[in-house]
Amino acid sequence: EAGDELPPGVNQMVMVYVAQKRKISVGDKMAGRHGNKGVISRILPEEDMPFLPDGTPLEIVLNPLGVPSRMNVGQVLEVHLGYAAKALGWKIATPVFDGANEYDIIEMLKKANLNEDGKTILYDGRTGEPFDNRVTVGYMYMLKLAHLVDDKIHARSTGPYSLVTQQPLGGKAQFGGQRFGEMEVWALEAYGAAYTLQELLTVKSDDVVGRVKTYEAIVKGENVPQPGIPESFKVLIKELQSLALDVKVYSEENKEISIRESIDDEEAEDLGVSMEGREEEEIFTDYNESEEETTDEDINLDDLDIDVEPSEKSGEDEEDDLLNNLFIEPDDFNDDIDIDPDSLNLDDLDDVLDDLNDLDLDDINNFDDIDDIGNIDDIDIDDLDDIGNLDDDSGDDDV
């Protein structure tokens, strides 16, 4: 099953859980049994809470706007039934579809000597004055959810962006930004905060060039430049083009505005940043374009220092035969060259083998200083002429 396998090199794993008791705070989430979830917006002292005519303070005040749009009237019926059951001292279990209906609840409220509509007069805890209208009061189940504000708090200056829309990612796990939705935009529009709204929709979101220039202006202490075109608008144009709709953008002066699909290299260089998210890699090569290619016709046999066994062939036949048997790799001139076995002197080979057998390893001195080793340039090539072509089977390769 998932989670049963231990990581490599681990014999036993011990999980330690630390329980933490937290008091409920502003921003914590609570919910009832009808999908009526909400966030705590304010916590007051008990003496400031609204209270009943008998002086009992309320524990939770809910916004009535949480009922009509969601159409979960069950929470209201639960409040009324709980109010009557508390007054009568009853414990009630009511099934979802075959439980107490409105008329049953009204009858219970009558038995408890309460108003049939379940409403009562409330008094302001700070002034002691009664509220203008009677308020629905009762008992219902409310539970604290695991979505605690201490675990949700998150802040971001800059961070990762989406590849397509160039907008900040969402969520604390992705180190994302705060979503500013349609209704939030309407709120700022109604308030008249035009510049704040423009900032939120451009340089703080998906105006790629604008956000870099804004950061540069803030660092240099200059005025923030005018924002550009958001990347999401370019994505919209691309989607319309995929539907065979050619979209053009015009200014107030009826001039067409060119929508650049990418940032110019010169502009990115002026900003001092890599707009692609990676530095351009310089490619170095040893190839010189001015050098002309060398062909077989340019090779002069006299320039090649190669000993060729004399043969009965002469003239052009001998030269053609040499070219056919000689293959030169462009970057490797150290390939093995075939040697005629008849040209080997076996007597010289026997002498070399005898010398190798007589070699005593104890005679080799230990060099304390690397300078004691002779330079390879001091070796006389003529001294190596007596060494024939050693057969591969005659000794180790690593000599």
Task: Report pLDDT digits (tens) over 233-271.
Answer: 999 999 999 999 999 999 889 998 888 765 555 555 555
Q: Are 147 and 30 in contact (CB under 8 A)?
A: no
Q: Return the pLDDT at 218.
A: 92
Cα 350 from Cα 345, distance rounded (Å): 9
- Per-residue burial over 206-236, b = 16 or more CB atoms within 10 Å of its CB, e = otherwise: bbbbbbbbbbbeeeeeeeeeebbbbbbbbee
Of 155, 154, 181, 153, the residue nearest 167 (C-alpha): 181
Residue 70 — left, alpha, or beta (φ > 0 → left; ψ -120 to 50 → alpha)? alpha
Q: Return the pLDDT at 151.
A: 83
Q: State the sign of the Cα–Cα–Cα–Cα dihedral 7, 10, 11, 14.
A: negative
CA torsion, ordered 60, 65, 70, 71, to nearest 10 deg? 90
Fold type of domain 159-271: DCoH-like (3.90.1800)
Report helix, strand or coil for 71.
coil
| pLDDT tens for each residue of 338-396 | 556 566 566 666 676 676 666 655 555 554 444 444 555 555 555 555 554 444 444 45
Contacts of residue 306, Cβ cutoff 8 Å, sequence gap at least 6: 326, 337
Look up the pTM and report it: 0.51
User: What would the CATH number be for the domain defined by 29-144?
Assistant: 2.40.270.10
Question: Which stretches of the chain drop beneath a pLDDT of 50?
Answer: 1, 274-291, 326-328, 332-333, 367-373, 388-395, 397-399
Contacts of residue 91, Cβ cutoff 8 Å, sequence gap at least 6: 85
Cα 140 from Cα 5, distance rounded (Å): 45
Q: Exposed (0-12), middle (13-18) or buried (19+): which is 134, by Cβ within 10 Å?
A: middle
Cα 200 from Cα 213, distance rounded (Å): 15
Q: Return the pLDDT at 344.
A: 59
Which residue pairs, CB below 8 angstroms and at least 24 apart, start in 377-381? Answer: none
Domain residue spans of the chain:
29-144, 159-271, 343-394
Helices (H) and strands (E) in the chain, counts: 10, 7
